[in-house]
Structure 1
Amino acid sequence: MTAAAKDLDLSVLPPEYRAAFEAQAARVAELEETNQRQEHLIAEMHHALYGKKSEKLNEDDRQLAFEDLEVALAEVEEKKSEQVPGDEKPKRKRVAKRNRGNLPEGLPRIEQVIEPDSLECPCGCGLMHRIGEDRNERLDILPAQCRVIVTVRPKYACRTCTDGITQAPTPPWLIEGGLPTEGAIAHVLVSKYADHLPLYRQSQILARSGIDIHRSTLADWVGVAAFHLRPVVDRLAEHLKTSTKLFMDETTAPVLDPGRGRTKTGFLWALARDDRSWGGDDPPGVVYFYAPGRHGEHAETFLTGFNGILQIDGYPGYNRLTRPARKGGDPVIVAHCWAHARRKLKEIFDRDGSEIAAEGLRRIAEIYAIEKDIRGTRPGQRLSARQTRSDPLVAAFGDWLQAQRLRISAKSRLGEKLAYIHRHWDGLQTFLTDGRVEIDSNSVENLVRPIALNRKNALFAGHDEGGRAWGRIASLIETCKINGVEPFAYLKSTLGAIAADHPKNRIDDLLPWNFQPST
């Protein structure tokens, strides 16, 4: 609320005017916040371009920095347009002029003629006749094929009277008046976040086909898509957090820091559900949350509303989730990962062939052999087998662990590895008390590998905002993949549904596991 608005005495206004004033003031405050974010992003872009000579980036670094800054700016602009009532919306410059009218003539063109519902003259004079048409060309992208969709909307008028012209309305587009179809946008998203192609490389690939689409234009498309897909990802996260058992892991997401001319370390936190190993009814899914650091408070924020068992590695940042004072829910029960415990011993064995490490590995292998036997059975059967067969082995391992810690110096490398297992001993036994719990967190580790591949190919995100868009779109793509859904088909369909004003109360229909490909 502005300073002038705060000085007004609203009590003197009639209730209906007071409510309207408060609603308008809230909208102004929201717009001011959006403007501040936009100004901040523009300032960062200018700093990256015109900063001190020592802070200037090389050409490749600048491309990545501008790419994600422009994605963020496009998302802010889309948010601003959504905040303004329909009759007040300004005409937003959706596509750079340099990309208009230069679609190669050799590209295949598919005409979609959209006729009005009726050609009857409103005055009853008979059928209208065609007097012209409007044509729009949008770039559509199919895998390994580019084409131009030409939308033709004939105009009809009556020969007898001059009471009006009939023409079909323009079909809904995600980017109104823009160049790309929803299929083209989906292709760019899959190429960037699944195939690990930065936008400037995609621009180069298109140029080889004679299509001059600048990287900044592609960034605009991604930003608009990221804005409109956010409610779907938020709903996906809500759905996952209704479960009582989830996996969580985090991986680095290097982010460019233009002020210092180098990268800083951000993190993508993966929150996943995968109950397939025991035949759970809930579909698998994953959401990647971006945070500028690895502090446990980020995990606490991302897990707001979740109560139950969390399967994790040994990172101590998760310890705050088990405290009675945990924010956002009850203290979680942690299930630690036996694969991590095994790796500690494997490191020692590979280094010096330790017989103690070899014995630990043998004991863990016996526990894993039981897990292999019961994989795919129902939780009750898994729990019964574990209590009967695994519990004695785990107890014996615990006794062996304590005996070795008394023999080995705590400062030795082996002593440090044994101490690690000891610190997480309670969590390593959680799988013995619940048949739904896995013996390790390998399921979520497999889901952070695509992030690592993208990191390797794209090197880093260009901005914190780019890290958030990265996590958001990767969430949908990876959830598609683990549900056997083709990501391009899903994103094309979902973006088309959003463009057509898909009802907000049916957002669950847009979740990846509910996608039904057209036949």
Structure 2
Amino acid sequence: GEEVTEILEHKPGETYVRRIERPKYAIKPIVVEENAENEQNEEEAPAIRVAPMLLLPLPRSNAGPSMLAELIMNKYFYHLPFHRQISMFKMIGVRLPASTVNGWFQGSSDLLRALYNRLKEKVLETDYIQVDESTIPVINNQKHKTTKAYLWMVRSVMDNLIFFHYDKGSRAQRVVVDLLKDYQGAVQTDGYEAYSIYERKKGVLLLGCWAHARRKFSESLAEDKTGVEYALAQIAKFYQVEKMADEQELDHEQRAELRKRLAYPIMRAFEKWVEEYYPKALPGGRMSRALAYTYNLFMRLSRYHLDGR
């Protein structure tokens, strides 16, 4: 018999130099006979012929497509900054200057621009999207420190396609107005006032988000335990309806009907409670803000029962 021991090992990915050899050929010069004046023409310089260069991603660069893909995937998928990747390559004997890598990255981003534009088109062609804006630290070269900027996210819910939009770090309303100027369909957002313009735009249905409303109440638990627990219990009933629809494997139309029959009456009663409870909440407190947030957006929050998606 024998004893077998299996050991998990690792072999680093291969980095290699690919040689492209293109032979050069010189056409032999043609010797011309003496002309009528018995003068011999000078021989023509030989013509050089070489095979055309293979198509490479970046002009005047020795970076192959696999190397560029590796750098970008590591940066955005595995969150490895370039300076760490440069150190990792150095350990296997490949020295890459930071300026070179940054140049490769800029060129690769330009190559991906067409793909980004097509992704943006596909997302905005759908009739149900979610939009949100998140903070991102951006280095200010003049101040020599990071400043808070905003990155907009737009998601096609049913296709699970996402694109990000950056406009000098701005969160102003003009950014989303320009971004969605031709959009038609449902737009789901939080309560940021910039989106309110779509309440009056023809062909656009503005939806709220119960997760945001619920979070406002959760953050008020220490201030008003009784009121918050009641509010969370009512919101939990909406999620129970969704769980029921999942268990019954309902399609979108059946799910909308279930929401209309079970969730909508609870929402109407909850809206009335929010209105009546608001005067009892501490003015300016967390609970007061949670109630005001929910009440002001209640029309958007209740619209989810119209469509099972």
Residues 345-398 of structure 1 deviation map (CA, whole Å, 9 limit, x = unaligned): 11122x246111001111111110111222464221111111111111111211
Contact 2:219 2:286 in 1 (8 A): no
Cα distance in structure 2, aligned partners of 1:185 and 1:412: 52
Residues 50-129 of structure 1 aligned to structure 2 (within 5 Å):
none
Question: What code does the residue aligned with 2:18 have?
Answer: I
Distance 1:143 1:390, change over 3 A: farther
Q: Does 1:298 align with 2:175?
A: yes
The aligned counterpart of 1:150 is 19
Instruction: Please say which structure displays the higher CA radius of gyration.
Output: 2
Report the alpha carbon displacement of residue 429 of structure 1 after superposing the two structures with TM.
0.7
The aligned counterpart of 1:317 is 194
Question: What code does the residue aligned with 1:398 have?
Answer: E
Contact 2:214 2:232 in 1 (8 A): yes
Question: What code does the residue aligned with 2:236 have?
Answer: A
Report the alpha carbon displacement of residue 189 of structure 1 after superposing the two structures with TM.
0.9
Deviates more, 1:143-152 or 1:257-266: 143-152
Cα distance in structure 1, aligned partners of 2:253 and 2:229: 33
Length-normalised TM-score, structure 1 = 0.51
Contact 1:247 1:310 in 2 (8 A): yes
Residues 350-389 of structure 1 aligned to structure 2 (within 5 Å):
351-352=222-223, 354-375=225-246, 377-389=250-262
Deviates more, 1:394-403 or 1:241-250: 394-403
Cα distance in structure 2, aligned partners of 1:415 and 1:253: 29
Q: RMSD over aligned Cα, in angstroms?
A: 2.5
The aligned counterpart of 1:343 is 215
**Identity within the alignment, %:** 27
Cα distance in structure 2, aligned partners of 1:143 and 1:186: 17
Contact 2:89 2:95 in 1 (8 A): yes
Cα distance in structure 2, aligned partners of 1:418 and 1:216: 53
Q: Does 1:184 align with 2:67?
A: yes
Cα distance in structure 1, aligned partners of 2:292 and 2:70: 49
Residues 406-459 of structure 1 deviation map (CA, whole Å, 9 limit, x = unaligned): 4334433212211111111111011011222xxxxxxxxxxxxxxxxxxxxxxx
Question: What code does the residue aligned with 2:145 have?
Answer: R
The aligned counterpart of 1:288 is 164
Cα distance in structure 2, aligned partners of 1:143 and 1:169: 34
Cα distance in structure 1, aligned partners of 2:135 and 2:118: 25
Cα distance in structure 2, aligned partners of 1:144 and 1:319: 51
- Count of matched residue positions in the alignment of Structure 1 and Structure 2: 282
Report the alpha carbon displacement of residue 143 of structure 1 after superposing the two structures with TM.
7.2
Contact 1:410 1:419 in 2 (8 A): no
Q: Does 1:411 align with 2:272?
A: no
Give the unaligned 5+ runs of structure 2: 1-10, 32-45
Q: Secondary structure at the match of 2:146?
A: strand
The aligned counterpart of 1:205 is 88
The aligned counterpart of 2:41 is none
Question: What code does the residue aligned with 1:334 have?
Answer: L
Question: What code does the residue aligned with 1:179 have?
Answer: N
Give the unaligned 5+ runs of structure 1: 1-141, 276-282, 325-329, 437-519
Cα distance in structure 1, aligned partners of 2:200 and 2:261: 31
Cα distance in structure 1, aligned partners of 2:114 and 2:162: 15
Cα distance in structure 1, aligned partners of 2:224 and 2:275: 21
Distance 1:143 1:238, change over 3 A: farther
Q: Does 1:334 align with 2:206?
A: yes
Cα distance in structure 2, aligned partners of 1:257 and 1:370: 48
Cα distance in structure 2, aligned partners of 1:295 and 1:143: 46
Residues 234-291 of structure 1 deviation map (CA, whole Å, 9 limit, x = unaligned): 111111111111001111121111212222222110000121xxxxxxx321110012
Equivalent of 1:308 in 176, 185, 192: 185
Cα distance in structure 2, aligned partners of 1:363 and 1:396: 9
Cα distance in structure 2, aligned partners of 1:414 and 1:235: 44
Cα distance in structure 2, aligned partners of 1:396 and 1:253: 39
Distance 1:331 1:257, change over 3 A: farther
The aligned counterpart of 1:270 is 153
Contact 2:223 2:286 in 1 (8 A): no
Equivalent of 1:422 in 295, 306, 309: 295
Contact 1:348 1:414 in 2 (8 A): yes
Length-normalised TM-score, structure 2 = 0.83
Contact 2:128 2:157 in 1 (8 A): no
Cα distance in structure 2, aligned partners of 1:426 and 1:143: 56
Report the alpha carbon displacement of residue 157 of structure 1 after superposing the two structures with TM.
7.3
Residues 314-365 of structure 1 deviation map (CA, whole Å, 9 limit, x = unaligned): 11121123335xxxxx46321111011111111122x246111001111111
Contact 1:143 1:187 in 2 (8 A): no
Report the alpha carbon displacement of residue 174 of structure 1 after superposing the two structures with TM.
0.8
Contact 2:223 2:287 in 1 (8 A): no
Cα distance in structure 1, aligned partners of 2:166 and 2:120: 13
